[in-house]
């Protein structure tokens, strides 16, 4: 009886532990991004107070599109499924991808319209560059981490 409980409990603790570490990483990245964007855009306190609620809603919606709608589509197309897909099935996938892209585009337009009165057009143009710079630095950091890991092995 005890051995039957050990495996499920062990799995539960492993899953909970993984979820916490993943969420902690997301929270850490989010904090770094907030700091980076605030600094690079030179946001005033008043601008920050208005900017971050709008931007956070945008980011959450983008995250949902990418992780709840697009990620499952990519997973379904994995392991050679794309090579076996009919033209009709491919059209369905393509329509779903286009719908997600269009929704992201509409969200970005809304973000620009909502933020223009808060931070102005110049800072909005800078925002795109700052977001891209942050993502590049983050990616470079993870690449460096992987290289360091490979060297140790």
Interval 27-86: pLDDT, tens: 888 999 999 999 999 999 999 999 999 999 999 999 999 999 988 888 887 777 777 888
pLDDT of residue 44: 94
What letters, b where the CB count within 10 A reaches 16 and e where it falls short, cover 5-22?
Answer: eeeeeeeeeeeeeeeeee
HSE-CB of 43 using CA atoms within 13 angstroms: 23
At residue 147, the pLDDT reads 65
Q: What integer pLDDT is reported at residue 84 of this predicted model?
A: 83
Task: Identify the band that residue 89 occupies on the pLDDT scale cut at 50, 70 and 90.
Answer: confident
For residue 36, count other CB atoms closer than 10 A to its CB.
16
50 and 116 Cβ atoms separated by less than 8 Å: no
pLDDT surpasses 50 at 115: yes
Q: Specify whether the backbone of 120 is left (phi greater than 0), alpha (psi in -120 to 50) or beta.
A: left
- The confidence score (pLDDT) of residue 17 equals 52
Residue 26 has pLDDT above 80, yes or no: yes
Q: What is the pLDDT of residues 119-129, one digit of tens each?
A: 999 999 999 99
pLDDT (0 to 100) of residue 143: 78
State residue 73's pLDDT score. 83
Closest to 66 in 3D by CA, of 107, 11, 122, 118: 107
Which residues are within 8 A (CB) of 116 and not within 5 positions of it... i.e. 6 or more apart? 124
More confident: 12 or 23: 23
Distance CA 15, CA 97 (A): 30
User: What pLDDT, on the 0 to 100 scale, is given for residue 153?
Assistant: 61
Q: What is the mean pLDDT of residues 113-118?
A: 98
Residue 97 vs residues 31, 48, 53, 103, 147: alpha-carbon distances, Å: 30, 33, 28, 10, 33
């Amino acid at each position: 009886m005890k051995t039957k409980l050990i495996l499920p409990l062990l799995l539960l603790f492993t899953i909970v532990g993984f979820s916490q570490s993943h969420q902690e990483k997301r929270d850490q990245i989010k904090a770094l991004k907030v700091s980076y964007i605030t600094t690079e855009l030179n946001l005033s306190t008043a601008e920050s107070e208005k900017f971050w609620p709008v931007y956070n809603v945008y980011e959450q919606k983008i995250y949902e599109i990418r992780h709840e709608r697009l990620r499952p589509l990519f997973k379904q197309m994995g392991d050679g499924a794309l090579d076996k897909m009919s033209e009709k099935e491919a059209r369905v996938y393509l329509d779903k991808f286009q719908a997600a892209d269009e929704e992201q585009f509409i969200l970005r337009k809304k973000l620009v319209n909502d933020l223009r009165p808060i931070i102005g057009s110049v800072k909005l143009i800078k925002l795109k560059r700052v977001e891209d710079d942050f993502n590049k630095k983050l990616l470079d950091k993870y690449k460096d981490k992987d290289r360091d890991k490979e060297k140790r092995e």
